Amino acid sequence: MGAFAGFIMLSIVFTGMAIFQSASQEKKDKIAEIILSSLTPADLMQGKIIGYFVLGLIQAVVSITLVLPIIAWRVDISILQYLLVPELAFYIAIAILGYLLFASIFVGVGATMADVSTAGNFQGMVMMLPFLPFIFIGPVLSDPNGFMAQIGSYIPFTSPGVLLLRLTSLEEWPWMEIAISLMILIISVWFFMKLAGKIFKVGILMYGKNATPAEIWKWIRA
């Protein structure tokens, strides 16, 4: 289950990056103007998030379908016995929340860029957010109930990855910590969806340069 959780986390990272590049590329090629003649910015943003979610889901299912028989053939372990467990639905729910969080951030910030190849410091730092959970791999594996593991569970950007890693390492789950983590994650998804909507609405139609943090802050306040 730990390997499967890691696969889910990597799928979140790569799918989020695809959304980032898609928003920026459509803006660079001025396709967004044509699309927005038939849709509202909110519809376009939501369509991107849902569309890439379905795409990522299909890719994950195909990959698992192709890889599992090979693993089952090479390793004398009943893989399905470890995967088809009640906890799997909970892991997938955490992964979906993580995807929605990063997808909303990436689609909003991607709309502020004139070209992916010219990403500024601000955009570059945002692109690194999905990799933050990897900082906690060592502390979580050494002590899944330790202080660092708890902190990582409460930070929205690290919560999905850390929770998946902790839950696959523990025999008894700390339900109070899980409930707090999920509440913070759900509120964060809602909050960043609202912010992304404001940023995307203005940024997708701004050409010529990457938006600065000051400009983005003005769009959010407006």
204 vs 153 pLDDT, higher one: 153
Q: Nearest Cα to 110, choosing from 68, 52, 181, 59? A: 52
Tokens 């396709």 sit on residue: 31
Q: Both tokens of residue 163?
A: 């929770």
Q: What is the pLDDT of residue 188?
A: 93
Distance from C-alpha of 5 to C-alpha of 93, rounded to nearest angstrom = 12
How much is the pLDDT for 123? 66
The residue with tokens 């913070």 is 184
What mean pLDDT is predicted for residues 124-132?
Answer: 78
Q: Which residues contact 153 (CB under 8 A, 6 or more apart)?
A: 159, 162, 163, 166, 177, 178, 180, 181
- Angstrom distance (rounded) from CA 37 to CA 180: 42
d(CA 118, CA 163): 34
pTM of the model: 0.80
Report, as an integer, the average pLDDT of 63-82. Answer: 65
Task: Of 10-14, 140-144, 148-152, 188-192, give the lowest mean pLDDT range.
Answer: 10-14
What's the pLDDT band for 73 if we cut at 50, 70, 90?
Answer: low
Total H helices, total E strands in the chain:
11, 0
CA distance 219 to 173: 42
The pLDDT tens digits of the residues spanning 169-209 come to 888 888 899 999 999 999 999 998 888 888 877 777 776 67
Compute the distance between CA of residue 47 and CA of residue 107 in angstroms, rounded to an integer: 11
H or E segment and range at residue 39: none
Q: Residue 128: pLDDT band by 50, 70, 90 thresholds?
A: confident
Cβ contacts of 195 within 8 Å, gap of 6 or more: 104, 108, 220
> What pLDDT, in 10s, does the model give residues 20-41?
777 777 766 667 667 777 777 7
Greater confidence (62 vs 13) lies with 62
